[in-house]
A and B are shown apart, each in its own frame.
Chain A
Amino acid sequence: MDDATFKSAPQLLRGAIVGLGRMGLTHLAILRGHPLVASLAVVETSACFAKAVEKNLEIPCYRSIDDLLHSTSPDFLIVATPTQTHYTIAMLALERGIHTFIEKPLSMSAAESAALVQAAKAQGVVAQVGYVNRFNEIFAAVRSLLHSGELGKPTYISCDIRSPMVVRSSAHGWRSRKSDGGGCLGDIASHGIDLLNFLAGPPLGVLGASLQSLVSEDVEDRVDALLAYKDLTATLHVNWSDPSCRKPAYRLNIETQRGRIVADQHAYKVFRTSATTQGYATDWSTVYIPDIASPVRMYVRGNEFTRQLDSFIDSIVLRHTDAVSDLASAAEVDKVIEQIRATGERTRLR
């Protein structure tokens, strides 16, 4: 945001973060020094942790969302709790006209997500979902290239994601419980679905899917799906129990009428088909993230995490209700999740 806009900003914002897990803490660290955020409160159900935060960080801590809304009237809310609680908390906030950022996936079902989309629309508030890859410079550049039409239309896209997140059986944590919205499909696979939607729009349907439990008892650890579009096929392969990688790794392969793009979070390479190309290495050109990255106000864990929240705050100040990664686009992901689950559960492997 430029200086002129900043000066004309009507007022500084008061915000609250619900849930201080890994994402909640990241959001808190990114927002605490934001020039347009006057104050932040947090909601944390663990009394001990809440006390420690209050004492050491001097941030007001509430034990429940009701306590928070009873005592304060925040301009915006960040919902970083287990998925199962998203709908109730987000609905409470949206109905009060509070701008809301919700971690992904938006909710437990396509129906809940559709209701949240309606509520946000009715109130005219800014509402965004944490599909952070939309703010990754490489993925954004790949999308621009694809949409420029230079390579023709895409005919096939595969999205592979590997993560060492759950490499041994564990009864701990909500991510291992289906009833709380745990499992690879809602967790990291939802990022893959959103990335496909970001690049190609929502699919017409799910042609096939499989869900496998590799180390978990109650949830799937591997998701494979075949998605159909008009003149395009996409595949999604996600494994969150892969000890062979150090951190989550994405791999996109996009075949188009006049070329091919291979991308990960840090680089993409393009093959442009022309009369003279014959698959020589020189026909490929590579763009690395240092070539296109621009700095951020405050870096925590990656540029894209700051960009997504700064975009959310900018949207509030500028009253743009069509945020990047808005509820409508996130609700499309939930539809696909539901179809993959329905298809996959019929053919569940163990």
Chain B
Amino acid sequence: MKLIFGDNQFFGINHMSEEKAQALSERFSKLDSVINVIDHAYEAGIRDFMFTTHDRVQQICDHFRQHPNRYRGIRLYPAMPYAHKYANLVADKGVMGAVVDVLRGDGSSSGALRAMLHAGRGALQQDPITIMRLLVDAELRMFHDLQVEAIFLQNIVTDLLLGLGARNAFEEFVSYARRQHGVDAGFITMNLPLLASYLRTCGVERPLLCASFNKSGYLMNPSRASYEALIQEGGQRFVAMSIFASGAVTPAEAVAYVRGFRNIEAILFGASSKLHIEETVGYFQERAVAVPA
């Protein structure tokens, strides 16, 4: 079971409390404090890191590129998009206006984009798959020259597309990532059983899925039991997140719970101090779970 270090804490994201979220946001306002925590994770043996395509991640990536020896063997899992970047744009300019804005802001000289912008919004709107490819390229640009292990679609988009029934988007996200960027593509979701069965009908083989998995059933829709049955059954590559249910489950309980299931490929967790990182890594080591070297 691999440990992937997540980044929610760096951007003031805490599902349990706005006060805690605000405190984190203030604490990590300087890049140095973020790098400091990443270093603690690296020193604790963690080599896998998930980063949302937040503007600030650009600086973290620059830092990795400037110090290749210090972060030898590091593997990144970009999760896209950073949704709030789009949400306000969509409210302001509509879905298409937001897309055009982001692609323009990307400064991409992509011929496809220029051709589409030239042909007008009409052309863009008729071809959402091309838009998706351009957005994937734009979001991935900040990770250039770093080892990207797999990319993930954030749950806000995954679950919206799932609800809308945008079948092509799922197939294409996976095949485009492989074809164009040579990486696996996965989906973060708050609706794991529904997504897993939908992807089967889309013909996506052994999908890479990331979802909440904790003893208290928090953010496990429609039920904890349906998640447990799916994980037991296998058929997908599964990354468990929110194993502490934002603090509702103790570390010992959380680890014991996920250890009760085979078919969990990795655990995604976040921590904001050396102590918490070492504690979490320790819990997994104690139980003879290999932490990647």
Interface size class of B (residues with CB under 8 A): 35 or more
Q: A267-B16, A290-B218, A291-B248 are in contact. Are A175 and B164 (CB under 8 A)?
A: no
B163: CB under 8 A from chain A? yes
Interface residues of B in 35-69 (CB under 8 A from A): none
**Contact call A264/B17, Cβ cutoff below 8 A:** yes
Contact check, B220 vs A246: say whether CB atoms are below 8 A apart: no
Interface size, A (range) = 35 or more
| Known A22-B91, A32-B165: A299·B159 in contact at CB below 8 Å | yes
B221 and A298 contacting across the interface, CB-CB below 8 Å: yes
Interface segment among A105-113, A163-171, A205-213: the answer is A163-171
**Contact at B126–A299, with CB atoms within 8 Å?**
no
Complex interface: chain B residues within 8 A of A165 (CB): 88, 91-92
B97 — which chain A residues lie within 8 A by C-beta? 172-173
Q: Taking CB as reference atom, which chain A residue is nearest B217? A: A295
User: Complex formed: what's the CA distance from A237 to B270 in Å?
Assistant: 34
For residue B135, CB closer than 8 A to chain A, the reply is no
Within 8 A of B (CB), among A167-189: 167, 170, 172-173, 175-176
Is B16 a contact partner of A289 (Cβ separation < 8 A)? yes
A290 and B121 form a contact (CB under 8 A): no
- State how many angstroms separate the Cβ of B9 from the closest Cβ of chain A: 13
Assess whether B115 is interfacial by the CB under 8 Å rule.
no
By a CB distance below 8 angstroms, the chain A residues around B127 are 52
Give the residues from 145 to 180 in chain B that come closer than 8 angstroms, CB to CB, to chain A: 156, 159-166, 168
Q: A265-B18, A290-B16, A295-B222 are in contact. Are A164 and B88 (CB under 8 A)?
A: yes
B264 at the interface (CB under 8 A from A): no
B: residues with CB less than 8 A from A are 11-19, 21, 25, 84, 87-88, 90-97, 121-122, 125-128, 156, 159-166, 168, 190-191, 194, 216-224, 245-248
Q: A residues near B, CB below 8 A?
A: 20-22, 25-26, 28-30, 32-33, 46, 48-49, 51-52, 55-58, 164-167, 170, 172-173, 175-176, 246-247, 249, 251, 264-267, 288-291, 293, 295-301
Contacts A21-B95, A22-B90 supplied; 10 other A-B pairs, CB < 8 Å: A29-B164, A46-B96, A52-B125, A52-B128, A173-B94, A246-B25, A264-B17, A266-B14, A266-B18, A288-B17
